[in-house]
Amino acid sequence: MGFWESLFFINSQPSKRHKFVFKRILSILESPNLNRWVDRGGVFGLYAFSFGIFYKQAVVKDGLVFMILATIFKFTSFRKWLIRHNLFLIATFFLIFVLARAIVAAIEFTEYHELIMNHAAFYGFTFFQVILVSYWMANLRGQWHYLLIAMMTGFLSQILRQQNWSSIIGKAHLYWTGAERIEFGSPASVYGVWCAIIFLACILLFRKLWGPPKFRLRQTARVFLWFVILSVSAIGIVLSQSRSALIGTFFISLPIAVFHLYRTHQFKIRNWIAITAFLIVAFSLTNFISVIKTRLPEANFLSVIHGETSWNSISGTHRSISERLFLYKNAWELWKKQPIFGYGPGVSSVHLRLIYDTHTDKIAKYTHFHNFFLDILVQLGMIGLLFYMIFFFKLVQQLIRCQRKGDMGLDVFLFVLGSFAFIGISCLTDQPLNHPKGLYLLVFLGGTCYTETFLNNGLRADCDHGSCDDSV
């Protein structure tokens, strides 16, 4: 008795009529036309997911629904392999742990039970989403760059949607002088990281993004889109005033670009002239020196930590750094009381509300502790942090394995590795995975790492997207 048959006839002996009806249903489910439409639905969901990462959370959810429904029809082909896969086991145990801690936290903080359960769903299904996305990426073998174009188009569309065009001149002046920071739907600190990752994609994967030269008109349109996104992301890195993005761009993106040019034998003078000219223009358009000066902290905020100066005597960058140090101190004290299991998902924001009520002169309203490691330790304890460390280790391990086998191009490998490095830097002074854009971006990158796992086990669905290349 097969999977669908056992599903239809649980604890019952099927009659001849039931068998006939079942065979008719099964013939419909297994028909080539239906499978073709199911594949199209799953691929459409993957494109919607990629476009919505930076654009809108509702679009991402719609894409996930399409992929989930399509996967249900394809599940019989790989269920035995999947339930034995280490990532599936990690995802299952992590979900059980998060839900168990959420139930305990909801009982303790009854007035915040909705917030806690929302965070439980937000964190708990992350690893399962990686499996889902990687499966449908396997259906687009050789066409991964189209997903990247969809993600970058969503990034640009989000800026167009968030921009208040009636006051664009006044806003541009505030951004240029450094009086305000660019955000566009995300906190400025992590928006700069998104810009840096998009910028890294533009400088590493430009050949994939441009397309083949035989289609001149199409390539011209794609080059124009690439240049617009490259310029917008470079300007966003500076005007967001994100220290993580600026540090990562100079110490991750540019060295990776140099390494890629060297390994691909493109280390030519004209390339360096083009890069230098672009950086000079971008810096001049963003008033780079003046903006950076507003984000360079002086040493006087340390006197606040030592109690030599009052909290109200500092502002701006010095105030933000002092607040973060105050957050770290409180997070450490909270974690020491519940070191193993933590307080439960979403409880960070609950404790921060209580801290704000008692220390309004020292801290503004926050929803997390501005450090990924401390925030996870408070919410899920050492066990939760261990799950995340194993997850990241498996992603990097799988990424390196794919590159060594030749299943992934050097440019894609460097982009994913560099993006992980950006997220890691941001985790030290922020909580990028507490934001939907950061979580879905991680899912996209993780799915890229595990695409080859599905292909190598013969699990790719039969989609009608033409022939497949040998590398992502």
- The per-residue pLDDT for range 319-359, each reduced to its tens digit, is 677 778 888 888 999 999 999 999 999 998 888 888 777 76
Mean pLDDT for the stretch of residues 252-274: 82
In a domain, 233, yes or no: yes
In a domain, 377, yes or no: no
Please name which of 186, 175, 155 lies closest in space to residue 235, comparing C-alpha atoms: 175
Residue 308 has a pLDDT of 52
Please name which of 116, 20, 31, 49 lies closest in space to residue 379, comparing C-alpha atoms: 116
**Domain tally for the chain?**
1
Name the pTM for this structure: 0.85
Please name which of 333, 326, 430 lies closest in space to residue 378, comparing C-alpha atoms: 333
Banded pLDDT at 273 (limits 50, 70, 90): confident
In a domain, 23, yes or no: no
In a domain, 78, yes or no: no
In a domain, 357, yes or no: no
Q: Which domain holds residue 231?
A: 163-296
DSSP class of 465: S
In a domain, 267, yes or no: yes
What is the per-residue pLDDT across 93-102, written as a single tens digit (0 to 9) for each?
999 999 999 9
3-state secondary structure of 132: helix
In a domain, 87, yes or no: no
Please name which of 298, 335, 341, 338 lies closest in space to residue 320, comparing C-alpha atoms: 298
In a domain, 203, yes or no: yes
